[in-house]
Chain A
Amino acid sequence: MRKLALTDEVLLSVEKPARYIGGEVNMVVKDPNDVDIRFCICFPDVYEIGMSHLGIQILYDILNRREDTYCERVYSPWVDLDKLMRERDIPLFALESQEPVRDFDFLGFTLQYEMCYTNILQVLELSKIPVYANERTEDDPIVIGGGPCSYNPEPIADFFDFFYIGEGEAAYNNFLDLYKECKKAGKSKREYLELVSQIEGIYVPSFYDVEYNEDGTINSFKKNYENAPDRVKKQIEMKLSEAYYPTKPLVPFIRVTQDRVVLEIQRGCIRGCRFCQAGMIYRPNRERDVEYLKKCANEMLKATGHEEISLSSLSSSDYSQLQELVYFLIDEFGSKGVNISLPSLRIDAFSLDVMGKVQDIRKSSLTFAPEAGTQRLRDVINKGLTEDAILNGAREAFQSGWNRVKLYFMMGLPTETEEDIEGIAVLSDKIARVYYEIPKEQRQGKVSIIASTSFFVPKPFTPFQWCRMDTPEEYIQKQRFLRSKINEQLNKKSIKFNWHEAELSELEGVLARGDRRLSRVIYDAYMFGCLYDSWSEHFNYDKWMKAFEKNGVSISFYNSRERHEDEMFPWDIIDAGVSKSFLLREYRRAKSGKTTPNCRELCYNCGAKKFGGGVCVGGFEMPNHADGINRNGSIKQEASNES
């Protein structure tokens, strides 16, 4: 039996000791002495969140397929253990071998959201690894990062040796092979970084010095290592149905956020919503073959014993073989007590039929994400959901027995007016009215509408990357305005209104579009005690403000400024596939309220075509909602009209 890093006394005095003992079903066991490369992957949040992340499972599987590599896991210790580890000087350890993280060759962070940045510093510090990359020695692991936030890695650039821009399947083997060679040849870390920077998709931030203009904007990325690439090109996996898929995922002992089999049916999205970063950076849309997915579903349910399977994608309804897959899952596993969960489905006859089969209508609710309150603003953000579609979907659902509706909106979207905000209240009310149009004897009690608003945060690599973001004061004012408008509605008693914290969104905005000058702020915020910032009970706005003040960094420079069209961005060093000119074109179209068709209807030359696959080259059935538009048609004409 493995020896645990923590004593009984420590484990029994913290919440949920199972977070720290490893040993889960399907955990990979290797002898660390038998491998050349020890790799520790980290999701910098608590175990239950990190264990629910599909990307980690995929990476864990890919890396452990290599005989020369042992990939282990570490998560952020919860605050109770954090305190004990500091008091008793216990170094942070990986779950598998229970050995110190500092003894590893690599420590790789997945960067899923900006508010985890202080947790990265926690993991480094508890591992006794210097937090700044330039303070580390040859004995420290190479610290790397990947995932959505690595598309603008600049605010955390000083903490990392390099970032990998792209999907795990594509290039990990290249830089691990290189590492092994370098290690055997006794090369230094610097020599390895120079060589690894030649691999496509690798960004070594220390090879670039950022120069700023007088107004604080970026002047240039000046290379201090001449062979470093001018731009770092995103690497992606084009053959998703041949790619590795973790058919034996880890099964945690404790209940985690995703306590189920997760089947990724496609990557990328055809929709092109202009606020959505995932919809841009994961282009092009690539579907997995339905037979491949059936096989994976079978194997994964068998290997885990999970009683639920969930389909994962940005927009499940756009998966061209959804019906076949879903009815297969219901027929094959429904009778065995396996629940089937279908997030991000468009409400139509098919989804209502499926939901009626797999869920208890009385308990479940319908979810719509109109994102904006008026058609005008929905056109601005290119959200192709019309009021008619929402009302008709709701009507059908009400007739089938549903009486609860969840609505998701954003406030602070570009060009937003009071009318758009009021539209949120009006649309919520209209849905309630639809419910009461149904004959009384067919209704199931009262209707309940839950309208949730989050604050719009402009993200890199979206058409809104140039936008000004509202201040918390503006947000709160808008939220009060909406509250008053909801209270004016006929069905106000049926509408429940939820909102996000404005201060958290403000910070997210700075970190999302920030530059290297923020690393000192993040460091100081952490030193002041900020940790688990995405957990509202731990988020401390005042400490963050203190850190900004100490470093003389202004939030409004990052958030409250409409960026100039030709401004150089911190993330311009990254080539994510979609071109800056396409994003700018989209931004201009947004401002004039023009929508852009989805990728299957028309190609708008976003730049992702150069990957040579997925939706860009076809290979799928025409969906029945493509309303006759020739998808091979060119938009060159229109694009040139615009410019």
Chain B
Amino acid sequence: MKARIKFQKYGYMKFIGHLDVLRYFQKAFRRAGYDSEYTQGFNPHQIISFAAPLGVGLTSDAEYVDIGLRTCDTPETMVKKINEVLSEGFYVTGFHLLTEDSGNGKMASAMSLVASADYLVSLKDGCSLGNGILSCEEFRELFEKFYSKQDIIINKKTKKSEKMVNIKPMISFVAFDEKEYDAYLGCHLADLPKPVNNEKSYYLNAASKADAYENNIKVYMQLDTGSASNLKPELVMEAFCSDSGLEYNPYAWQVHRLEIYTRDDESKRLIPLDSVW
């Protein structure tokens, strides 16, 4: 059977790269006493994959992993037992058994579902924006000016090539405090069915693990994520800094992922990944 897990990654676990996180979870399942499903052949390995790999240095409230299991308990027990063997910095908040018929007869991998993600980008304490910008109000003003542009063209570098890309259509919204962000979510997601705990799924209500900083300079953003269109929050911040005449220091910003969304085939709207499992 296949299961999808939602977990938080925070604290110094942000220094663990996503491939190592996969290895970590493989071992964690073994420690919790569950047998995983293996690929066939002489060099069997566990079947496990991420929805959207998170870069080193980033934290998250919403990491999704699909894993094949041969033995399993109720979703509630699974969440409890796995959390018992996890290090501080990892915390499972949801477990869902995937069934063959969810989707169109075939199991869709978490990765294939991803369309968008919410991020909170905060200025770390001890870092400054430069140019005498001190308050979050000044930051907001600058960022709004940047976001109000018709087009935001950046030079997107890949391993092979560079090209000019307009990233503006890849940003669905921005907000500057929790209230605004919650309000946006409230009006877009209010009608979705509330998660239920049953024999297939289990949800834990966990407070966000995003680090808070005294300077309060931060921005919430919803960005295209996934194979069709992908925009990293770091690129937005770099573009913002260069546009506003600020020096971009990649280490000054803490990026925290808040949620991952899939796009509903019919309504075309974005739905959190754990609302469709």
Contacts and interface: CB of A to CB of B under 8 A. Distances in A.
Interface in A21-46: 21, 23-25
B30 to A, nearest CB: 4
Interface residues of B, number: 34
Contacts of B11: 1
Interface in B229-260: 250-251, 254
B175 interface: no
A240 B17 CA distance: 39
Interface stretch (B38-46, B136-144, B178-186, B262-270): B38-46
Contacts of B17: 18, 254
B15 A21 contact: yes
Nearest to A302: B31
Given A23-B87, A307-B27, A359 B42 contact: yes
B12 A360 contact: no
A21 B31 contact: no
A182 interface: no
A13 B250 CA distance: 10
Contact of A23 (B29, B33, B44, B89): B89
B27 A304 contact: yes
B111 interface: no
B27 A251 contact: yes
Contacts of A1: 11-12, 88-89
Nearest to B249: A9
A307 B20 CA distance: 14
Given A23-B12, A307-B26, A363 B89 contact: no
A293 interface: no
Interface string A42-63: 0000000000000000000000
Interface string A557-601: 000000000000000000000000000000000000000000000
Given A1-B11, A360-B42, A253 B31 contact: no
Query: By CB atoms of chain A within 10 A, which of B28, B31, B43 has the most?
Result: B31
Contacts of B43: 360, 363
B251 A13 contact: yes
Contacts of A336: 35
Given A18-B15, A360-B42, A301 B30 contact: yes
A255 B28 contact: no
B57 interface: yes
A623 interface: no
A185 interface: no
A360 B35 CA distance: 22
A25 B87 contact: yes
A302 B32 CA distance: 8
Contacts of A255: 20, 23
B26 A12 contact: no
A12 B249 CA distance: 12
A218 interface: no
Contact of A25 (B27, B44, B250): B27
A358 to B, nearest CB: 9
B249 to A, nearest CB: 8
Nearest to A24: B87
Interface in B1-41: 11-13, 15-17, 20, 23-24, 26-31, 33, 35-36, 38, 41
A18 B19 CA distance: 13
Given A1-B11, A23-B12, A12 B31 contact: no
Contacts of B16: 18, 253-254
A360 B44 CA distance: 11
A255 to B, nearest CB: 7
B31 A304 contact: yes
B124 interface: yes
B213 to A, nearest CB: 12
Interface string A334-372: 001100000000000000000000011011000000000
A253 B15 CA distance: 10
Contacts of B26: 305, 307
Interface in A235-284: 251, 253-255
Contacts of B30: 301-302, 304-307
Contacts of A337: 35-36, 38, 44, 46
Contacts of B31: 25, 302-305
Given A17-B15, A21-B12, A23-B12, A12 B27 contact: no
B56 interface: yes
A559 to B, nearest CB: 43
Contacts of A8: 57, 124, 251, 254
A307 B15 CA distance: 23
A9 B30 CA distance: 34
Interface string B199-225: 000000000000000000000000000
B56 A17 contact: yes
A25 B87 CA distance: 7
Interface string B71-111: 00000000000000101110000000000000000000000
Contacts of B15: 11-12, 17-18, 21
B84 to A, nearest CB: 12
Nearest to A362: B42
Contacts of B124: 8
Contacts of A199: none
Contacts of B13: 23
Contacts of A12: 15, 56-57, 250-251
B12 A305 contact: no
B89 A305 contact: no
A4 interface: yes
Nearest to B15: A17
A295 interface: no
B187 to A, nearest CB: 35
A362 B43 CA distance: 11
Interface in A353-411: 359-360, 362-363
Contacts of B24: 253
A440 interface: no
A421 B202 CA distance: 68
A12 B15 CA distance: 8
Contacts of A303: 31
Contacts of B42: 359-360, 362-363
A336 B36 CA distance: 8
Contacts of A18: 15-17, 20
Given A12-B57, A254-B20, 6 more contacts: A25-B85, A301-B30, A304-B27, A305-B28, A307-B46, A336-B35
15 contacts: A8-B124, A8-B254, A12-B251, A17-B56, A21-B12, A23-B13, A25-B31, A304-B27, A305-B26, A305-B28, A306-B30, A307-B30, A336-B35, A337-B44, A360-B43
Interface of B: 11-13, 15-17, 20, 23-24, 26-31, 33, 35-36, 38, 41-44, 46, 56-57, 85, 87-89, 124, 250-251, 254
Interface of A: 1-2, 4, 8-9, 11-13, 17-18, 21, 23-25, 251, 253-255, 301-307, 336-337, 359-360, 362-363
